[in-house]
Structure 1
Amino acid sequence: MLERGWEVKAFVRDATAPADAALHAAGAELAVGDLDDLESLRAAMKGVHGVFLMLTMMEGVHITAAGIAAEQRRGKAVVELAKELGVRHFVYSSLNGAGADSGVEYYAAKQAIEGFIAEAGLPATILRPVFFMDNFASFNRPGDYLGRTVPLAGDRLTPPQIAAVVGRIAGLPARSNEIPVEQVKAFDEQVGKMFAYFNEGPDQPVDTAALRAHHPDLLDFEGWLRATEWRP
């Protein structure tokens, strides 16, 4: 967004952290605060045109009940402040599968935040990435995205296909190993539920051709690996 000429204010916990300092060096204004400190949130959001919100349910390396509850609480607070302050475009990065009755608790938290946005009547765009994406394009074309929920994906690959692409780009042998869901649940119950839903839930294809027609620079997996010069 900075490269496109937007004034960007980033809400950060520690302005001296390397990633935050890099944002500042790139031209972003830093607003220091905490998502549980409403006054710091209000000060950061006052006078802005739009808000991009992406939250995490993680506590350390795990998804926990406390983390899920905190995500939902923080999302509600940001939505309510956006309504209070008259934010003109609210972009929320949810996830693909929210609202699908997946049985995954952290999916339900994302769905709840989508509900808070709808109840507040915010001029909003809901983005539902299937994995990791650059989610800021909606600010540049609000006429195309206000009021929409947009599934996002740049590619559609099976794990063996992902391994094959990684191997080809890295020039190394690569293979996909399937880990039983119960073993995943033993590490993190929520992650295990997510993969169980992937295996057993209804397929939710994303129309990548339509997305690419709107965004010709949208990368597929191989293109992303090459563009980032990814190496293992």
Structure 2
Amino acid sequence: MRQCDMGRFVEPTGKTVVVVGATGLQGRAVTRHLLGSGWQVRALSRDPDGAPARELASAGAQIACAQMDDVGSLIAAAEGAHGMFSVQPTVGSPGTAPDFSAEDEVRWGINVAEAARAAGIEHFVFTSVAGADRHGSERLPQNLVSKWRIEQHIAALGLPATILRPVSFMENFTGGYALQGGALATALAPEVPQQVMAVDDVGFVTALAFSRPEDWIGREVALAGDELTPTQIAAAIGDALGRPLPYVRIPIGAIRALSEDFAFANEWLNERGYRADISATRRIHPGTMSFASWLDREGAARIAAFLATQPTPEQHS
């Protein structure tokens, strides 16, 4: 991995949005929609020579080397840009170090916000999580508390900001996080509805917000695309794949033995949940995908590709 070049950027024509976390799931979707909407995109990566960054460059993004732990690199990368998109991983996110903590997440989020202020960013969009604004009225899972702390710092800085609060992502059902032993397996109660959202739709709404700053600066919006029980999710995936996919509930005690925070997060989802307004999301973005339409568009193919790499239940026995 080569070191970041701290030099200044020469602007191409058109306004630029800096995308933090550009090689991650949300960052890629945001970059794709911004480029498709005619924006210049400066995609930040700690490894500008890596395959994910090269893929963004081939799509038309300018790649800048920066790290969320280094405020100076963030300021240099943000200079001259109009907007900035910020997202941070949570504990346990793919690609994070084993010792990555909630305090690391908050520090990274604060660093990005501080860099935006120092660089004079005119529109800052932060993706938080639905329910974070209920902090103080009920006990919340740690990942919601972390996002709320970052939100509060953004507000304290007085940034011209938009806060997007999506619910859980449909993409969580495409890999080993939920697909285990030929089944859909989580600690969620089988018959309790859970709200989900396609990451691509977050990218769409982000690009929409940047295109209409007069409507979106100062706005805080929860986003959800569908609501289904885990049993319904498993059935929908099975229908899309043309093969049965049972739902297996992991005992909450087994989760608690690994992580008290993760156990509480599952209990919170079972007992309280995000409570986002799906109809309001569809008013903002009428094309918001349902779980079924997401499966048709991309989800089923991704799930099938993952399952094809896994041993069959018979091979486990």
TM-score (normalised: structure 1): 0.91
Whichever of the two has the greater Rg, that structure is 2
Could you tell me how far apart the structure 2 residues matched to 1:6 and 1:111 are? 29
Q: Which blocks of at least 5 consecutive residues in structure 2 are unaligned?
A: 1-33, 170-198, 305-317
**Residue 128 of structure 1, aligned match among 165, 168, 180:** 165
Could you tell me how far apart the structure 2 residues matched to 1:36 and 1:207 are? 35
**Residue 44 of structure 1, aligned match among 65, 72, 77:** 77
Alignment of 1:97-176 (within 5 A): 97-100=131-134, 101-132=138-169, 133-134=199-200, 135=202, 136-137=206-207, 138-176=209-247
Q: Go from structure 1 to structure 2 and tell me whether the alpha carbon gap of 1:64 and 1:149 turns closer, same or farther (over 3 Å shift).
A: farther
Could you tell me how far apart the structure 2 residues matched to 1:199 and 1:91 are? 29
**Cα offset, 1:58, TM superposition:** 3.0
SS in 2 for 1:71: helix
**Residue 218 of structure 1, aligned match among 279, 288, 306:** 288
Query: Could you say what the CA RMSD is over the residues aligned between the two structures, in angstroms?
Result: 2.0
Q: What residue number does 1:194 align with? A: 265
Could you tell me how far apart the structure 1 residues matched to 2:163 and 2:277 are? 16
Of structures 1 and 2, the one with the larger relative CO (CA 8 A, separation 6+) is: 2
Q: Go from structure 1 to structure 2 and tell me whether the alpha carbon gap of 1:31 and 1:158 turns closer, same or farther (over 3 Å shift).
A: same
Q: Which blocks of at least 5 consecutive residues in structure 1 are unaligned?
A: none
**Cα offset, 1:191, TM superposition:** 2.1
Identity between Structure 1 and Structure 2 (%): 38
Number of residue pairs aligned between Structure 1 and Structure 2: 231
Letter in 2 for 1:79: A
**8 A Cα contact 1:63 1:190, kept in partner:** no
SS in 2 for 1:128: strand
Q: What residue number does 1:185 align with? A: 256
**Cα offset, 1:60, TM superposition:** 6.8
Could you tell me how far apart the structure 1 residues matched to 2:277 and 2:143 are? 25
Q: Go from structure 1 to structure 2 and tell me whether the alpha carbon gap of 1:45 and 1:87 turns closer, same or farther (over 3 Å shift).
A: same
- Write the deviation string for residues 51-94 of structure 1: whole angstroms up to 9, x where unpaired: 11010123576897852111111111111121222211111010
Q: What residue number does 1:25 align with? A: 58
**8 A Cα contact 2:167 2:274, kept in partner:** no
Q: Go from structure 1 to structure 2 and tell me whether the alpha carbon gap of 1:97 and 1:63 turns closer, same or farther (over 3 Å shift).
A: farther
Q: What residue number does 2:105 align with? A: 71
